[in-house]
Amino acid sequence: MTSKNPDKPLAFPPGFLFGAATSAHQVEGGNHNQWTVWELENAKSLAKQAEYKLTWLPDWQGVKDQATDPSNYVSGQACDHFNRYREDFDLLRRMNMNAFRFSVEWSRIEPREGVWDAAAFVHYKKYVGQLRSLNIEPVVTLMHWTLPVWFAEKGGFARRGNVKYFVRFAKKVFMELGGDIKYFCTLNEPEVYTSKGYYWGEWPPNRQSRLQAMWVYLNLASAHNRTVRAGRRLGGAWLFGLSKDCAHNYPGDDAWLSRLSAALANWALDYFFLNMVRRKLDWLGLNYYFSNRFFGYRIHNPEHPQNDLGWTMEPRNLQFVIERLSRKYRRPIMVTESGVADRGDRYRKWWISASLAAIARAIAGGARVDGYLHWSLLDNFEWAFGKWPRFGLAEVNYRTLSRRLRPSALWYGQTIKKLRR
Ligand code: BGC
């Protein structure tokens, strides 16, 4: 599937989706869910831990003040996107985008068990209506890691019996908002949600149990399958997918152990889950940030260049992940996230340009790719790191809440204009 001529000009199929992505809790502000509770309980300790855990970061001096301040770790009003979405959609329009991925916040829609908030639906209907009026295709995520407090208190996805609540919420969303939606993304990164919350114990609900992690993972697969089955029964013309975080796992040398490790990583981190849901995927969402280079069974990545979070950046490898998944699952792929924490906007343009080239090569080699949704439209609340990492095409001033498109974003907008057909 590798393209024969790497120097061909970039070519994308007509209707290719060029856009950006966000998630509700990271931008909306004013939410009350299991993450809100956790942030408030942990802000002080996260600020304290930063003093010894984050000092190795490439730009530690530049982010130190924010990273050691407890208020950094509380989402609070975030970007106030809930109220300022029209202004934010105008940024999409200015960048000539034709797609936007966002999530609906379950805790707003069903704040108490079985109680639906009509005002939340009115809001999201207007929200989607506004996107449609700008000819921007909405891609709607149902679960981007935040849960209503009542659901978390019932045990969340750690209990198989709770899956029905998620399916009920999803059906409600299909019925209320589905008229204007084509793409539904059931889950965001089930592997990250499970490993951070139940294996490493770093995120809510801070469990460290292999057994429970496995059970949550299986329940998420079941939640996806049952949600799609319910959606298909309702008979809408929806296309269902989910967003899976997939890295490019590759051997750093020819040793059999390096090759075996890379193959095992593909299986354990990607195929194990995707094989459980493959029959219920109309498209596959790919979130790409990482490559893992194996020497023997250890990962040794090149040390440079690194983004502000210290992640090694290898955007061109996106091509190989697309080719691998596309060969294995034979589904259209949508890049639902890919981006860099880059306060100084030093790498973003390069990252986007290399990512687009990687996608174009994969397409030329025969893969079907339907879109590239950059993470993120706005600087936002980066989970347990809080607000200091800056992933936005638009810079957000958290004091005044003003937005400003970064130079890379202006460039991306012009590039989209040239590439769109
Ligand atoms: C998540 C986003 C997050 C981004 C950068 C993805 O794993 O879906 O919510 O902000 O990565 O870390």
Cα 146 to ligand 1 centre (Å): 13
Specify the ligand 1 atom closest to the Cα of 383.
Answer: 10
Cα 1 to ligand 1 centre (Å): 29
Count Cβ atoms within 10 A of the Cβ of residue 65 and give its class: 0-12 exposed, 13-18 middle, 19 or more buried.
exposed
Cα 225 to ligand 1 centre (Å): 23
In testing the pocket of ligand 1, which one of 337, 373, 377, 385 has its CB within 8 Å of the most ligand atoms?
Answer: 337
Question: 360 Cβ partners below 8 Å, 6+ apart?
Answer: 8, 10, 11, 12
Which pLDDT belongs to residue 421? 84
CATH fit for domain 17-419, picks 3.90.1150.10, 3.40.50.261, 2.30.30.110, 3.20.20.80: 3.20.20.80
Cα 242 to ligand 1 centre (Å): 14
Cis omega (within 30 of 0) on the bond before 70?
no
**Pocket around ligand 1 at a 6 A CB cut-off:** 23, 26, 188-189, 192, 245, 287, 337, 375, 382
Tokens describing residue 301: 């990545």
| Segments of the chain with pLDDT less than 50 | 1-3
d(CA 51, CA 418): 45
Specify the ligand 1 atom closest to the Cα of 245.
Answer: 7
In testing the pocket of ligand 1, which one of 105, 382, 390, 393 has its CB within 8 Å of the most ligand atoms?
Answer: 382
d(CA 406, CA 374): 14
C-beta atoms surrounding 327 within 10 Å: 11
Which pLDDT belongs to residue 2? 46
List the domain boundaries for the chain: 17-419
Radius of gyration of the chain (CA): 20
Q: Where are the alpha helices (DSSP H) in 182-286?
A: 190-194, 210-234, 256-265, 272-277
Which pLDDT belongs to residue 1? 45
Neighbour-count burial for 2-28, b at 16+ CB within 10 Å, e otherwise: ebeeeeeeeebeeebbbbbbbbbbbbb
d(CA 203, CA 125): 31
Specify the ligand 1 atom closest to the Cα of 391.
Answer: 5
Which pLDDT belongs to residue 8? 66
Cα 289 to ligand 1 centre (Å): 9
